[in-house]
């Protein structure tokens, strides 16, 4: 009998590395990481409550 090959092709062993070799995939992955980072840091980036605004006074002067 012959031995059966049990190793996977290189593309299946490391799919992320293979995908990041293409520039468009690397840019898309970086954008997703940035988007997730902004979502996690949202309370720090914009700490004010958007529902607490008084929009009726938005055209009033500062005096």
Tokens 């840019």: give the residue: 27
Q: What is the pLDDT of residues 50-61, one digit of tens each?
A: 888 888 888 887
pLDDT band at 34 (very low <50, low <70, confident <90, very high): very high
* Torsion from C-alpha of 42, 46, 48, 54, nearest 10 degrees: -120
The per-residue pLDDT for 63 is 64
């Amino acid at each position: 009998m012959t031995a059966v090959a049990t190793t996977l092709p290189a593309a299946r062993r490391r799919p992320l590395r293979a995908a990041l070799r293409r520039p468009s995939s690397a840019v898309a992955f970086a954008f997703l990481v940035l988007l997730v980072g902004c979502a996690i840091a949202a309370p720090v980036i914009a700490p004010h409550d958007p529902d607490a605004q008084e929009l009726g006074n938005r055209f009033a002067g500062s005096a």
